[in-house]
């Protein structure tokens, strides 16, 4: 009989009532839960939970998952009852706002969100505004901070009690009171009257920071973002003068810097600039350091952070908080943060306990898999791998120009060709763009971890990272191997995979390992003359790639673009995705800039400071100055793209018209990528282009007419003008400036 009862219970549970998709999402967001957290608890995939909440075509859970999901939603509904919007049209008095219950706060937050959020495909609700009546203040000196319901897609603070208020705070002044806006809607009263006391308060009472990202690493320092009102309050200029902008800092004699000196605080060598670091020397394992971010001093570059610097404090805290939780607490520009993320995931040293004193100290050897704690001696760098002006090249004639046989030149594509007569009969030019192309190029790539060894007449080893001097001019793209089969192609319509401009090499040149390996893959023999190889190697960038990939995919999913969408649904979801939540769109931009900027920093050039050619510059002194790693990533990214182009040409007979970095333009009769990408029964060409949001897959970049392309080239008398540069919106005005 009990078995029958169990069967009846299971049957009833399989039809457990569920609220609408919108209500399911509202309840999850009100409790500050992420899609990943719900999916983990119910033992399903993230995409499954996202589909349950989809406002376009919601799916229904079945079986035991439905019962568990219904139970979760029922409990959340008890905590966060559906709001009645009319109840909140009038703002309560300030005294009433201070005593709002947690459930009431959530209702206010949700009511505000529901009045601001459109309902496109799986759109993430927008961040709420900051009405004074809903601010929950927690005076750090009197009681434990109180947390509001988290705004949509704002990360919850970590479990570490040291950092329970999150990684950062935006410091502002309102009605004479200094407030610190943290993630999750928390607002703290700040008692500090001066900048030194603000730093003290941050380290002793604010409970800001972020747990370490790897075992041997260290926690992230707290970040304070100072608004213009906060700058005025603490005696700092709201804007830098032209001279200060050029110097990147305020003068050493500024009164605030004198206050810090008197309080025994120090600044890094870069001084007090847009990303100032204020610290005292560490005592044992205890670190005392606070990072400042000053948006009005151009700390948040508009190219990467859009208009984030203009956001109100609560919204800015949300944007930076999402970025910090998914990437890391910003340490400077997105480029600096990208490089710091590599170090945070692979710290150069680790702590050991001294057997005699029992105190912790740094180990003498480097952490396995890291780049080490000491930079490579500038004079030990292979001459072919360093940029012009490097100390190892100081004996070259002053105006000597190094050619391909002297200089490793692995860069992204900038190639175009005239259209054929057949292509001119088609109607449109369609651009597709590879998602996170350079991140995908870093994934699984073996790179050198130490110094290079010089060898002559080596046998090429595709598993050995390094730089190879080899002649690849004999590789004929008219006949290449695709897989195990030789295929005939029109080589004149393809760019060479060995040069950024797509020109066929004319003799020996230096190449990174992925480029030479691709020549072998195409079916041709390679015989290097010499090489600089690194026997100490590893997949240093794997963790870096994974963290940035996950950050990108999670944020795009919050914007309604999931990783498992069908091609047509993906193109629909990408339409106007930025407008669904402009703040999260800023985070996406910053994540992508972190990838490119971090790789660029591996070969940082001199930045003024009186540098002269042949002299060392500051960046050479760090272990992460690694132009060889940058070259290998770019090489692999370019080769990955060429491989897809070749497979597409072999299968369809279609050839690209233009390529710019990770954007490829094809002539087609239709306006959509689906009009020329060879999908068969919903499946893409194996090894070719595939629509999707994952790194390495492609999205639609833009469409213009063939007539537009021909008219532009004719107007500027440039038959090989790179149309990929202008395919997105068709604007070509910058050509007039010679760009």
Q: What is the pLDDT of residues 217-248, one digit of tens each?
A: 889 999 999 999 999 999 999 999 999 999 99
Q: How confident is the model at residue 354 (pLDDT cuts 50, 70, 90)?
A: low
What pLDDT score was predicted for residue 361? 61
Q: How confident is the model at residue 1 (pLDDT cuts 50, 70, 90)?
A: low
pLDDT of 153 > 50? The answer is no
d(CA 465, CA 445): 9
Alpha helices for 666-716 (secondary structure H)? 706-715
More confident residue, 130 or 56: 56
CA atoms within 13 A on the CB side of 233: 23
- Residue 43, both tokens: 């033992």
- Residue 29, both tokens: 């967001």
d(CA 658, CA 419): 9
- Residue 42, both tokens: 């119910």
Q: How confident is the model at residue 4 (pLDDT cuts 50, 70, 90)?
A: low
pLDDT of 423 > 60? The answer is yes
What pLDDT score was predicted for residue 130? 37
d(CA 594, CA 638): 19
Q: Which of 124, 614, 44 is nearest to 378 (CA)?
A: 614
Question: pLDDT by residue (tens digit) across 11-34?
Answer: 555 567 888 888 888 888 778 788
d(CA 108, CA 122): 22
> CATH for 2-79, among 3.40.50, 1.10.260, 1.20.1510, 1.20.120?
1.10.260
To the nearest whole percent, how much of the chain has pLDDT over 90? 68
Least confident of 135-149, 262-276, 470-484: 135-149
* C-alpha dihedral (184, 185, 189, 192), degrees to nearest 10: 50
Assign 370 to helix, strand or coil: coil
| Strand 187-189, strand 137-139: pairing | parallel
More confident residue, 143 or 533: 533
More confident residue, 483 or 283: 483
Q: What is the mean pLDDT of residues 197-226?
A: 93
| Strand 137-139, strand 698-705: pairing | unpaired
Q: How confident is the model at residue 577 (pLDDT cuts 50, 70, 90)?
A: very high
Q: Which residues of 168-184 are buried (b: 16+ CB within 10 A; e: fewer)?
A: bbbbbbeeeebbbbbbb
Burial classification of residue 314, based on how many CB atoms lie within 10 Å of its CB (0-12 exposed, 13-18 middle, 19 or more buried): buried
Residues 6 or more apart in contact with residue 364 via CB below 8 angstroms: none
Q: How confident is the model at residue 595 (pLDDT cuts 50, 70, 90)?
A: very high
Q: What is the mean pLDDT of residues 484-512?
A: 97
Least confident of 132-136, 213-217, 516-520: 132-136
Point out which residues pair with 126 in neighbouring strands: none
375, 618 Cβ separation under 8 angstroms:
no
Least confident of 47-56, 225-234, 253-262, 517-526: 47-56
Residues 6 or more apart in contact with residue 726 via CB below 8 angstroms: 704, 712, 732
Q: What is the mean pLDDT of residues 143-151?
A: 37
- The residue ranges of every structural domain in the chain are 2-79, 126-329
Name the strand (E) or helix (H) holding 360. strand 360-362
Q: Which is it for the CA torsion 379, 382, 383, 387, positive or negative?
A: negative
Q: How confident is the model at residue 431 (pLDDT cuts 50, 70, 90)?
A: very high
What pLDDT score was predicted for residue 248? 92
Query: 660-663: long-range contacts (C-beta < 8 A, 24 or more apart)?
Result: 660/412, 660/413, 660/414, 660/415, 660/722, 660/724, 660/725, 661/412, 661/413, 661/414, 661/437, 662/412, 662/433, 662/434, 662/437, 662/438, 662/637, 663/431, 663/432, 663/433, 663/434, 663/701, 663/724, 663/727
To the nearest whole percent, how much of the chain has pLDDT over 70? 84
Assign 158 to helix, strand or coil: coil
Strand segments, DSSP code E, in 647-697 are 658-660, 663-668
Name the strand (E) or helix (H) holding 200. helix 195-204
For 392-409, what is the HEC assignment? HHCCCCCCCCCCCCCCCC
The rounded mean pLDDT for the chain is: 86
- Of these ranges, 124-138, 148-162, 417-431, 711-725, the one predicted with the greatest mean pLDDT is 417-431
What pLDDT score was predicted for residue 735? 53
- Residue 661, both tokens: 């970095």
Question: pLDDT by residue (tens digit) across 66-87?
Answer: 888 888 988 888 887 875 433 2
262 CB neighbour count, 10 Å cutoff = 9
What pLDDT score was predicted for residue 593? 98
Question: pLDDT by residue (tens digit) across 671-692?
Answer: 999 999 999 877 899 999 999 9
Burial classification of residue 730, based on how many CB atoms lie within 10 Å of its CB (0-12 exposed, 13-18 middle, 19 or more buried): middle
pTM of the full predicted structure? 0.80
The pair phi, psi for residue 57, each rounded to 5°, is: -135, 75
d(CA 341, CA 546): 11
What pLDDT score was predicted for residue 284? 59
The pair phi, psi for residue 19, each rounded to 5°, is: -70, 175
pLDDT of 154 > 80? The answer is no
Q: Which of 732, 733, 590 is nearest to 302 (CA)?
A: 590
DSSP labels, 13-58: HTT-----HHHHHHHHHHTT--HHHHHHHHTS-HHHHHHHT-SSS-
Q: What is the mean pLDDT of residues 177-201?
A: 95
């Amino acid at each position: 009989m009990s078995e029958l009862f169990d069967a009846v219970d299971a049957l009833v549970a399989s039809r457990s009532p569920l609220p609408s998709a919108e209500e399911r999402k509202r309840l999850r967001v009100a409790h500050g839960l992420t899609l990943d957290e719900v999916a983990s608890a119910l033992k399903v995939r993230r995409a499954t939970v996202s589909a349950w909440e989809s406002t376009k075509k919601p799916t229904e859970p079945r079986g035991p998952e439905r019962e568990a999901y219904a139970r979760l939603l029922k409990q959340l509904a008890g905590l966060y009852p559906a709001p009645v919007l009319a109840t909140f049209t009038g703002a309560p008095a300030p005294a009433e706002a201070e005593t709002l219950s947690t459930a009431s706060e959530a209702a206010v937050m949700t009511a505000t969100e529901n009045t601001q959020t459109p309902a496109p495909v799986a759109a993430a609700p927008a961040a709420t505004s900051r009405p004074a009546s809903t601010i929950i203040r927690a005076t750090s000196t009197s009681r434990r901070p109180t947390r509001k319901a988290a705004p949509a897609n704002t990360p919850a603070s970590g479990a570490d009690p040291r950092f329970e208020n999150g990684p950062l705070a935006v410091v502002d002044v309102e009605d004479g009171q200094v407030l610190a806006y943290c993630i999750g809607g928390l607002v703290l009263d700040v008692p500090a009257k001066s900048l030194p006391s603000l730093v003290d308060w941050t380290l002793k009472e604010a409970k800001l920071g972020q747990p370490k990202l790897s075992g041997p690493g260290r926690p992230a320092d707290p970040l304070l973002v100072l608004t213009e009102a906060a700058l005025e309050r603490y005696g700092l200029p709201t804007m830098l003068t032209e001279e200060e902008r050029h110097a990147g800092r305020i003068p050493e004699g500024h009164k605030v810097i004198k206050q810090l000196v008197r309080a025994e605080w120090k600044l890094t060598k870069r001084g007090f600039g847009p990303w100032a670091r204020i610290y005292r020397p560490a005592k044992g394992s205890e670190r005392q350091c606070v990072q400042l971010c000053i948006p009005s001093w151009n700390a948040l570059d508009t190219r990467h952070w859009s208009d984030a610097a203009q956001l109100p404090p609560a919204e800015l805290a949300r944007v930076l908080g999402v970025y910090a939780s998914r990437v890391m607490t910003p340490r400077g520009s997105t480029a600096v943060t990208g490089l710091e993320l590599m170090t945070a995931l692979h710290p150069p040293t680790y702590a050991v306990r001294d057997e005699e004193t029992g105190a912790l100290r740094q180990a003498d050897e480097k952490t396995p898999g890291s780049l080490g704690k000491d930079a490579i001696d500038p004079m030990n760098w292979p001459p072919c791998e360093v940029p012009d002006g490097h100390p190892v090249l100081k004996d070259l004639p002053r105006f000597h120009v190094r050619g391909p046989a002297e200089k490793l030149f692995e860069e992204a594509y900038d190639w175009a060709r005239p259209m054929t007569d057949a292509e001119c009969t088609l109607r449109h030019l369609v651009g597709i763009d590879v998602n996170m192309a350079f991140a995908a190029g870093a994934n699984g790539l073996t790179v050198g971890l130490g110094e290079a060894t010089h060898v002559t007449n080596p046998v090429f080893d595709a598993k050995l990272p390094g730089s190879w001097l080899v002649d690849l001019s004999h590789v004929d793209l008219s006949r290449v191997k695709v897989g195990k089969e030789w295929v005939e192609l029109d080589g004149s319509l393809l760019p060479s995979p060995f040069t950024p401009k797509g020109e066929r090499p004319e003799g020996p040149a230096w190449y990174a390992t992925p480029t030479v390996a691709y020549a072998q893959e195409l079916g041709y023999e390679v015989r290097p003359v010499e090489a600089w190889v690194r026997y100490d190697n590893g997949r240093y960038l794997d963790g870096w790639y994974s963290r940035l990939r996950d950050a990108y995919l999670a944020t795009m999913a919050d914007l309604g673009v999931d990783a498992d969408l069908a091609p047509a649904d993906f193109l629909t979801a990408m339409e106007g995705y930025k407008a669904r939540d402009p703040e999260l769109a800023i985070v996406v931009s910053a994540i992508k800039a972190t990838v490119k900027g971090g790789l660029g920093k591996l070969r940082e050039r001199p930045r003024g400071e009186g540098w002269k050619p042949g002299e060392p510059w500051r960046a050479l002194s760090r272990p992460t100055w690694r132009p060889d790693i940058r070259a290998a990533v770019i090489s692999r990214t370019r080769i990955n793209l060429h491989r897809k182009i070749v497979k597409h040409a072999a299968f369809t007979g279609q050839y690209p018209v233009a390529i710019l970095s990770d954007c490829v333009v094809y002539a087609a009769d239709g306006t959509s990528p689906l009009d020329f990408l060879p999908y068969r029964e919903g499946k893409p060409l194996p090894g070719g282009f595939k629509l999707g949001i994952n790194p390495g897959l492609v999205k639609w970049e833009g469409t213009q007419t063939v007539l537009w392309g021909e008219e532009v080239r004719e107007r500027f008398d440039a038959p090989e003008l790179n149309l990929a540069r202008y395919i997105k919106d068709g604007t070509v005005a910058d050509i007039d400036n010679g760009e």
